[in-house]
Amino acid sequence: MNIHARWQRAHGPSLGQARLKVEIDDFIVDEDLGFAPDGEGEHLLIQVEKTGMSSFALIDALAQRCQVPVQSIGYAGLKDRWARTRQWLSIHLPGRDAPEELDGEGWRVLARHRHLRKLPRGSHRANRFRIRLRDVDLDELQLQARLQSLRDLGVPNYFGEQRFGRERQNIELGLAMLGRWQRLRTRRLPRREAMWLSALRSAWFNKVLSARVAQGSWNQCLDGDVLMLDGRQSFFHPQAEDAAIVARLAALDVHPSGPLPGRGKPVVNAQVAALEAVVLAEDSEAIAVVAQLLEHDRRALRLRVQNLQHERCGDDLCLSFELGRGAYATVVLQEIVDLVEGDHHGQEEGGE
């Protein structure tokens, strides 16, 4: 696998350069659950604001504070370390409550409610972002045209670089561990190894998506495609004679999908199956090992950017927008500018 590959842009060349995450409040994420707490049950649902710590560090700290195993804590998504983020977590506390004082260094509890169920991964509706890009020198007309293009057409739904760790080391670590997991013949992955495996599948998805961006088909339905409803995980095979599909694609109601390789026969066929096979040919041996551990899945190739607004803040550019779960804010930013990130670049980003 070429771990140093960079993915294709869909909206043209960069309009300039910008510095990201200079200060911790340059990157603000607010997780939207999309549903109300039950108000009763064995789980405590809490909204937490954190700064300067990862979601996993927060989970470990809450488990220690509440004297429960980490498995008793549920979360909808992971959030950046170097950012101000607000997210929801659940703590299984049957017959008792959490300590009255739950705040700790780097986090504070904003709300707490009883809930019937553990909060599962990916159960939130969306994430809202407010991002400050520093030292930006962009032509205003070009910027407005680019932002309108993002609103109208969406952006390629790449996994962000945060997924792969510093210098993409998670991919290298994932490749190195595959032989070990093959020998152990286990399907239960510790958290760290699961992250490496996820990074591998994310990189394979990005390769396929980048190839379709280069081909100009990332937002079109090719022969043999399967489509996904916007904001939904399920996919379907479109009917060849369904003329409404073109209109639904233009309206960002449905999107083509790409592979998260694993066990099972590919659900695509014809032109798309051939394209994915060619793009992933050099990774076939690694994919065969992953297929012993995980089921094949799909992810939308395109991402809708909602409520995209901008304002000039002196020499800086402030952007606000909303993305569905599983999406990365940096892939939106990279369709506008080249990003220069500081030393605080983390492995998590809101949307996971």
DSSP labels, 128-183: EEEEEEBS----HHHHHHHHHHHHHH-EE-PPPGGGG-GGGHHHHHHHHHHHHHHH
119 and 160 in a single domain? The answer is: no
pLDDT of 346 > 70? The answer is no
161 and 262 in a single domain? The answer is: yes
80 and 171 in a single domain? The answer is: no
Q: Which residues are CB-contacts of 132 (< 8 A; sequence separation ≥ 6)?
A: 23, 25, 26, 27, 313, 316, 317, 318
pLDDT digits (tens, 9 = 90+) for 298-315: 999 999 999 999 999 888
273 and 203 in a single domain? The answer is: yes
For residue 41, what are the domain limits? 35-123
Active site residue 283: no
What mean pLDDT is predicted for residues 76-100?
Answer: 93
202 and 248 in a single domain? The answer is: yes
pLDDT of 343 > 50? The answer is yes
Residue 347 is predicted with a pLDDT of 45
210 and 250 in a single domain? The answer is: yes
Angle in degrees, 0-180, between the axes of helices 270-279 and 191-215, rounded to the nearest 10: 120
Is 14 domain-assigned?
Answer: no
Is 344 domain-assigned?
Answer: no
129 close to 160: Cβ distance less than 8 angstroms: no
User: What's the total number of domains in the chain?
Assistant: 2
Least confident of 165-179, 198-212, 270-284, 322-336: 165-179
Is 138 domain-assigned?
Answer: no
324 strand-pairing partners: 126
Give the mean pLDDT of the chain. Answer: 90
What pTM did the predictor assign? 0.89
163 and 216 in a single domain? The answer is: yes
pLDDT of 349 > 70? The answer is no
pLDDT of 345 > 60? The answer is no
Is 65 domain-assigned?
Answer: yes
> For the domain that residue 46 is a member of, what is the CATH number?
3.30.2350.20
> For the domain that residue 165 is a member of, what is the CATH number?
3.30.2340.10
183 and 287 in a single domain? The answer is: yes
Amino acid at position 122, single letter: G
116 and 160 in a single domain? The answer is: no
How many other C-beta atoms can be found within 10 angstroms of the C-beta atom of residue 291?
Answer: 14
| Active-site position among 26, 80, 225, 283 | 80
Residue 246 tokens read as 């073109």
Is 174 domain-assigned?
Answer: yes
Residue 291 is predicted with a pLDDT of 87
78 and 169 in a single domain? The answer is: no
pLDDT category of residue 184 using cuts at 50, 70 and 90: low
Report the helix count and the strand count for the chain, using DSSP H and E: 8, 16
Amino acid at position 117, single letter: R
**Long-range own/partner contacts, residues 236-245 (CB < 8 A, 24 or more apart):** 237/267, 245/221
Strand, helix or coil at 213? helix
pLDDT of 2 > 70? The answer is no
Q: Which residues are CB-contacts of 232 (< 8 A; sequence separation ≥ 6)?
A: none
223 and 296 in a single domain? The answer is: yes
344 close to 143: Cβ distance less than 8 angstroms: no
Least confident of 34-43, 182-191, 247-256: 182-191
**Which of 101, 123, 145 corresponds to the end of one domain?**
123
pLDDT category of residue 41 using cuts at 50, 70 and 90: very high
Residue 4 is predicted with a pLDDT of 42
Is 39 domain-assigned?
Answer: yes
